[in-house]
């Protein structure tokens, strides 16, 4: 799936001896780093989620997609059915569906405003709030499929 907000790059250390501050090889091979506005030019290393080898972990589409979405601050689904199918149960709860239905016809400005508020609250939360995370995902989806203003 193409997403203009995400790009991938590769450095061949045999051709480009890039070391500091990236520390290639630390944490295993391949060395995975992500870069966004929050990390700046130094980026941040990938934080493994399992005890398996990194190549096995990121070879699993579920982990790779979650990583790209988390590090890139994007959502790679294009509709609500996709978002729900990725859940462990394979479907969204009534609570999530009701939230989606409540905002699916809201203005783009309202969705963006709520997304900014919830994303900020989630970033500041001391512990993981699953319901807030679910609402942020739904709002990201709605923001990504909202009609763009015409010039």
Asked whether residue 151 is assigned to any structural domain, the reply reads no
Query: Are 55 and 102 contained in the same domain?
Result: no
- Asked whether residue 18 falls in the same domain as residue 50, the answer is yes
Cβ(57)–Cβ(63) under 8 Å?
Answer: yes
Instruction: Say what the pLDDT of residue 78 is.
Output: 82
Say if residues 56 and 91 touch (Cβ distance below 8 Å).
no
The tokens for 65 are: 């997609």
Structure confidence by residue, pLDDT tens digits, 24-79: 776 666 778 888 888 888 888 888 888 888 888 888 887 888 888 888 877 788 88
Confidence of residue 147 (pLDDT cuts 50, 70, 90): low
Residues 87/63, Cβ–Cβ less than 8 Å: no
Name the domain boundary from 74, 104, 119: 74
Count of domains in the chain?
Answer: 2
Give the strand pairing for 33-34 and 44-45. antiparallel
Domain that holds residue 103: 81-145
Query: Which residue, 56, 64, 74, 51, is CA-closest to 141?
Result: 74
Could you report the per-residue pLDDT of 114-145, keeping only the tens digit for each?
999 998 888 888 777 889 888 998 998 898 87
Q: In the listed set 57, 74, 91, which residue is the last one of a domain according to the structure? A: 74
Residue 112: the pLDDT is 92
In a domain, 16, yes or no: yes
Residue 150 is assigned to a structural domain of this protein: no
| More confident of the two residues 76 and 97 | 97
- Write phi, then psi, for 37 (nearest 5 degrees): -60, -35
Do 13 and 50 share a structural domain?
yes
The pLDDT value recorded for residue 104 is 92
Whether 3 and 18 map to the same domain: the answer is: yes
Tell me what pLDDT residue 2 has.
Answer: 66
Residue 52 falls within a domain, yes or no? yes
pLDDT score recorded for residue 82: 86
Do 70 and 101 have their domain in common?
no
If asked whether residues 3 and 68 sit together in one domain, one would say yes
The two three-digit tokens of residue 47, written as one number: 């934080």
**What does the block give as tokens for 142?**
């709605």
């Amino acid at each position: 799936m193409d997403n203009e907000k995400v790009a991938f790059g590769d450095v061949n250390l045999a051709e480009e001896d890039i070391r500091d501050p990236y520390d290639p090889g630390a944490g295993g091979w391949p060395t995975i780093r992500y870069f966004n506005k929050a990390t700046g030019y130094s980026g941040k290393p990938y934080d493994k989620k399992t005890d398996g080898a990194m190549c096995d972990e990121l070879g699993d589409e579920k982990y790779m997609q979650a990583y790209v979405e988390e590090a890139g601050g994007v959502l790679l689904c294009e509709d609500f059915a996709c978002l729900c199918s990725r859940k462990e149960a394979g479907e969204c709860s009534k609570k999530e569906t009701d939230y989606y239905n409540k905002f699916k016809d809201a203005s783009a400005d309202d969705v963006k405003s709520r997304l900014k508020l919830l994303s900020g609250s989630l970033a500041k939360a001391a512990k993981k709030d699953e319901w807030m995370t679910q609402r942020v995902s739904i709002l990201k989806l709605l923001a990504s499929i909202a009609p763009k203003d015409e010039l």
